[in-house]
A and B are shown apart, each in its own frame.
Chain A
Amino acid sequence: MVNKATRPTDDLLGQDLWNIQLDEQGRLKHFLTIEGLGSNILNQILDTAESFAGVNASVKKVPILRGKTIVNLFFEASTRTRTTFELAAKRLSADVLNMNISVSATSKGETLLDTLRNLEAMQADMFVVRHADSGTAHFIANNVAPHVRVLNAGDGRHAHPTQAMLDVFTIRRKKGADFGKLRVAIVGDILHSRVARSQIHALNTLNTGEVRVVGPKTLIPKDIEAMGVSVFHDMQQGIHNADVIIMLRLQKERMQGGLLPSEQEYFELYGLTEERLKGAKPDAIVMHPGPINRGVEIESSVADGPQSVILDQVTYGIAVRMAVMSMTLGGNIAAKTNPEDASKSDGHK
């Protein structure tokens, strides 16, 4: 089924693996990480998403991916992310197959490659992959048949590029396209966060004025400055004069293993309260990739307050995922098709 000679793993050695995301014409082929993609690609994603944001409840479907099969391959439980990918695929008229593969299935002896080969045999055109291991999306992209596309829906602590794109989409809508004048603070558990890593790459690729990470030393990965961020351990200083504050979810299991003493002390030091928010710019927006822990990383009144754009993020998530799916799988169709026209032609049938 898969001719090994055409893509031996050995041949990848020494190559710039980030380039596997682009085809010979420099168009997006897989979407695995923000890293290595230029601002032209990111802006194309944002512009395409902007056009899809108009495909609202009244004109729900466009036929761009009609006849294509998209497999949601989730090795980690997730309802929200999987649902938005599913909705995005369906609005592009693709067929969607949801595969929730528990770790126990793979531990029965079937390797990840075996699973892939089986799904390829079902004529899948795209895998949307979530997995607990960093590097899984790259591994899969390196091992699928040439026509199959891979979208990373989160791999370990490494990357969650569609989440980052919907975050910068939200920022662009609320703050305008000139990222150079913005100061963005990402607060919380950077160490375990694939979202933060992708946000940092996206913000820096779009030339954001300053990107800060804020948290205790136990939750800030070593030498993170090399990614182009400034590190703050004090919340007050970290969000001072910020235009955008992104709060990260704190997992309860961080209390074990000595990363943090308690949720209470964490909230005391890093929780975003109304009082603290006053230290940011008056028009600062508050974001959170969700699901939020009220009273742990963010006060309810802030989460539901006027500066919060958390629900907008969820809405934009579908448009951004539609954009990435159509760019990778729809070829040039996506760029050429006006969603309004497309929906009309859909209506004839």
Chain B
Amino acid sequence: MTNILIKNARVIDPKNQLDKVTDVYISKQRIAGIGTAPDNFTADETIDASKLWLIPGIVDLSARLREPGLEHKANIKTETHAAASAGITTLCVPPDTDPVIDEPAVVELIHHKAKLAKKSQVVTLGALTAGLKGEQLSEMVTLKKAGCVGFSNCKNPINNTLILHRAFEYASTHNITVFIEAHEPHLSADGCAHEGSIASRLGLTPIPYAAETAPIALVLELIRDTDIRVHFGRLSCARSIELINEAKASGLQVTADVAAHQLHLTEMDISSFNSQCHVIPPLRTQRDMQALRRGVEDGVINSICSDHQPHEPDAKQAPFPSTEPGISGVETLLPLTLKLVDNGQLSLNTAIASITCNAAAILGLDVGHLSVGSIANLCLIDPEEEWVFHTSEMLSHGKNTPFSGWNFKGKVTQTIMKGKTIFIKK
């Protein structure tokens, strides 16, 4: 086991309210000391981190790695490599793989592949209902034992509200967090754009606000008398934030996240039929984007995630409605988050918290912070480096991004997971 000494880094750890220039000592996969060396510590490797930031390894709440099932788009090896290069040490995979994550073998397969890749850690959500079909509860306890950190039905509908209610009760019995991607299938049927002036002008099938807000309201009422934790992922509407805020104020154990692209793009970005901006939930108005940014700053939205959805080129090479939604996002999660800080729209502390400790807490994982004794997952950033993001330099197998050509400030120089370097900038 290597002992690593990181010298003179600006250590930013929101969970421990730490923000100062100091040294960090790593030994036996764990943080052995901050500021003061542990007894008998001799460094095998010393990193001079003067002028660099040291933050906890980033935790991404939603990344589709496309394996198993859609390996022509990407696989666990390529995507964990891309994630590691972007400072991400923990990725959470939703259960809509093929086969669906509704039995332990699939969980084991994903964990096994991730271990072989030796890059970022991968954790999984299990399917809330068998086959995500919305009819029968999955074996949540069995899946939890196999390693699932939460359960979700993704965007697949549970048409029978009684089943949904019972899923909450059952999950609550076993101290399980349910992850909701609010998406009413009938209201959003065949839709590909926000219901507003742009969709009306372009003649694109609209997705109204209610496709997101109505299911959120339903879930909030269903869990009112159930002692359960519910996480709402990928919010897009200002009204959703109000609903979440009210629920939190009334004492419900509710958390929420937003995809990084929703904090930078609006419906205007699809006005030239740019299929790289085809996402679900759709990009909404300037007002919604501002509300989402405020929601992160105010803490109503706990986390920013990548909503990583890599695609093969053909998936985006078609008329807009026929293209597949989604952005290959792991490599822009940190840059887009830091851009908000740079533009003065988000405090640095909140920004880092939203991609580290807050996300870890939602998953119930003891990562995302830099405490003595905790697992040494961390990331070094050169905050002054200005760079241009290009698809040609992406490591993800999916090059589908609307951010090619964007200028960013702040770049990952090294990522360490469990005391081992999984990425170092050349």
Interfacial residues, chain A to chain B (CB-CB below 8 A):
9-10, 12-18, 35, 111-113, 131, 133-136, 138-139, 143, 155-159, 194, 197, 221-224, 226-227
Contact = CB atoms under 8 A, between A and B. Distances in A.
Contacts, number: 93
Residue picked from B203, B206, B314, B405, most chain A C-beta under 10 Å: B203
A133 B320 contact: yes
Given A139-B318, A221-B199, A157 B204 contact: yes
Given A135-B321, A139-B319, A197-B203, 11 more contacts: A9-B316, A10-B405, A13-B404, A15-B272, A111-B317, A112-B319, A113-B318, A139-B320, A156-B204, A197-B201, A224-B197
A133 B318 CA distance: 9
B200 A227 contact: yes
B391 A10 contact: yes
A222 B196 contact: yes
Nearest to B204: A134
B276 interface: yes
Given A9-B317, A13-B274, A13-B404, A134 B202 contact: yes
Contacts of B203: 134, 155-159, 194, 197
Residue picked from B199, B200, B274, B320, most chain A C-beta under 10 Å: B200
Given A13-B402, A17-B272, A226-B197, A131 B204 contact: no
B273 interface: yes
B407 interface: no
A17 B273 contact: yes
Residue picked from B205, B322, B391, most chain A C-beta under 10 Å: B322
Contact of A226 (B195, B201, B276, B391): B201
A111 B313 CA distance: 12
Nearest to B193: A134
Contacts of B199: 221-222
B257 to A, nearest CB: 26
Interface in B303-333: 314, 316-322
A135 B319 contact: yes
B200 A135 contact: no
B20 to A, nearest CB: 40
Contacts of B391: 10
Contacts of A18: 272
Contacts of B274: 12-13
Nearest to B391: A10
B405 A135 contact: no
Interface residues of B, number: 28
Contacts of A139: 273, 318-320
A247 to B, nearest CB: 19
Contacts of A197: 201, 203
Nearest to A257: B189
A131 B319 contact: yes
Contacts of B204: 134-135, 156-158
B348 to A, nearest CB: 28
Nearest to B403: A13
Nearest to A114: B314
Interface of B: 195-197, 199-206, 208, 272-274, 276, 314, 316-322, 391, 402, 404-405
B197 A13 contact: no
A143 B317 CA distance: 10
Residue picked from A10, A12, A227, most chain B C-beta under 10 Å: A10
Residue picked from A10, A133, A135, A221, most chain B C-beta under 10 Å: A135
A10 B317 CA distance: 11
A113 B402 CA distance: 21
Contacts of A135: 202, 204, 273, 319-321
Contacts of A13: 274, 276, 402, 404-405
Given A221-B199, A226-B200, A133 B272 contact: no
Nearest to A139: B319
Contacts of A131: 319
B321 A156 contact: yes
Residue picked from B197, B319, B402, most chain A C-beta under 10 Å: B319
Given A10-B391, A13-B404, A157-B204, A134 B321 contact: yes
B323 to A, nearest CB: 9
A226 B197 CA distance: 6
A14 B405 contact: yes
Contacts of B276: 13
A321 B135 CA distance: 55
Residue picked from B204, B206, B208, B316, most chain A C-beta under 10 Å: B204
Contacts of B201: 35, 197, 226-227
Contacts of B405: 10, 13-14
Given A113-B317, A135-B321, A139-B319, A223 B200 contact: yes
5 contacts: A133-B319, A134-B204, A135-B204, A157-B203, A222-B197
A226 B204 CA distance: 15
Contact of A223 (B197, B314, B319): B197
A227 B197 CA distance: 8
Contacts of B320: 133-135, 139
Contacts of B402: 13
B391 to A, nearest CB: 7
Contact of A111 (B202, B273, B314, B321): B314
B321 to A, nearest CB: 5
A138 B273 contact: yes
A84 B276 CA distance: 36
A223 B322 CA distance: 24
Nearest to B316: A9
A5 to B, nearest CB: 12
A15 B271 CA distance: 11
A222 to B, nearest CB: 5
Contacts of A15: 272
A133 B200 contact: no
Nearest to B272: A17
Contacts of B404: 10, 13
A133 B402 CA distance: 21
A138 to B, nearest CB: 5
Contacts of A10: 391, 404-405
